[in-house]
């Protein structure tokens, strides 16, 4: 079980699902019949990346609560790494969303509910980084960061449900309660890509945690050797 959850195994699983998802999206799933047409193919990675970014922020939220309960710095580290990766995925969502917006609606950006709240999420988590960089003392930094991560997470469900509560925006609502909104082959391709992206997030979290552990080890050894 431990081997199955190791970073290399997770990367391998992610790679397989992402490649299969991509192949199915282009060669098996039908082309969208709406005005989006072929540009809708962007959806098969764009939406899983968006969901994965929100999952990463969710992990950071849980880690923040766990840290405040236990004061264990390993939770702080998990939150920090998750937010870093969440931001990486968020940048990808924004870039691919802009390209898709240009293709589908002939505009790079629109101040509509989903896009605006997602941009706000990005700004909030950038602020999380700024906050971490200005506090030197480790335990205090972790406490402030955890409180901020919990507050910032409030915007995540708002972003997710923005298109459902305010449907007049440009961004389409694809998946709704009781209805995937997709043809069967599209849904299968989407779910496979979604699984791939989630595994990729897990693999990257594991690797980034290893990097942080090794960095600590190097600092400790340098200190014990007298700088």
Which residues of the shown chain bind other proteins in the complex (CB under 8 A)?
Answer: 11, 22, 31, 35-39, 41-42, 45-46, 49, 88, 91-92, 95-96, 99-100, 102-104, 200, 204, 207-208, 210-211, 214-215, 217-218, 221-222, 224-225
Nearer to other proteins, 132 or 207 (CB): 207
**Which two three-digit tokens encode residue 16?**
């397989």
Nearer to other proteins, 45 or 153 (CB): 45
What's the min distance (Å) between Cβ of 67 and other proteins? Answer: 23
What's the min distance (Å) between Cβ of 52 and other proteins? Answer: 11
Nearer to other proteins, 49 or 54 (CB): 49
What's the min distance (Å) between Cβ of 9 and other proteins? Answer: 15
What's the min distance (Å) between Cβ of 71 and other proteins? Answer: 26
Instruction: From 19, 52, 43, 22, select the one nearest 203 (Cα to Cα).
Output: 52
Nearer to other proteins, 69 or 217 (CB): 217
Q: Judging by beta carbons within 10 Å of its beta carbon (0-12, 13-18, 19+), is residue 85 exposed, middle or buried?
A: buried
Long-range contacts of 25-32 (CB under 8 A, 24+ apart): 25/186, 25/189, 25/190, 25/193, 28/185, 28/189, 29/183, 29/185, 29/186, 29/188, 29/189, 30/183, 30/185, 30/186
28 with 109: CB under 8 angstroms?
no
What's the min distance (Å) between Cβ of 8 and other proteins? Answer: 10
DSSP letter at 36 equals T
Nearer to other proteins, 11 or 144 (CB): 11
């Amino acid at each position: 079980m431990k081997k199955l959850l190791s970073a290399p195994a997770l990367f391998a699983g992610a790679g397989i699902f992402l490649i299969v998802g991509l192949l199915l999206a282009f060669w098996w799933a039908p082309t969208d019949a709406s005005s989006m047409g072929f540009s809708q193919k962007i959806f098969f990675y764009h939406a899983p990346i968006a969901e994965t970014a929100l999952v990463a922020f969710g992990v950071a939220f849980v880690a923040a609560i766990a840290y405040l309960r236990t004061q264990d710095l390993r939770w702080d580290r998990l939150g920090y790494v998750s937010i870093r990766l969440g931001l990486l995925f968020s940048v990808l969502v924004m870039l691919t969303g802009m390209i898709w917006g240009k293709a589908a609606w002939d505009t790079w950006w629109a101040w509509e509910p989903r896009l605006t709240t997602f941009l706000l999420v990005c700004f909030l988590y950038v602020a999380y980084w700024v906050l971490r960089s200005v506090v030197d003392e480790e335990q205090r930094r972790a406490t402030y960061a955890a409180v901020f991560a919990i507050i910032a997470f409030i915007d995540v469900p708002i972003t997710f449900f923005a298109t459902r509560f305010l449907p007049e925006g440009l961004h389409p609502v694809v998946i709704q309660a009781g209805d995937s909104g997709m043809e069967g082959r599209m849904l299968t391709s989407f779910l496979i890509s979604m699984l791939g992206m989630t595994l990729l997030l897990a693999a990257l979290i594991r690797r980034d945690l290893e990097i942080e552990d090794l960095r600590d080890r190097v600092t400790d050894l340098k200190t014990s050797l007298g700088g």
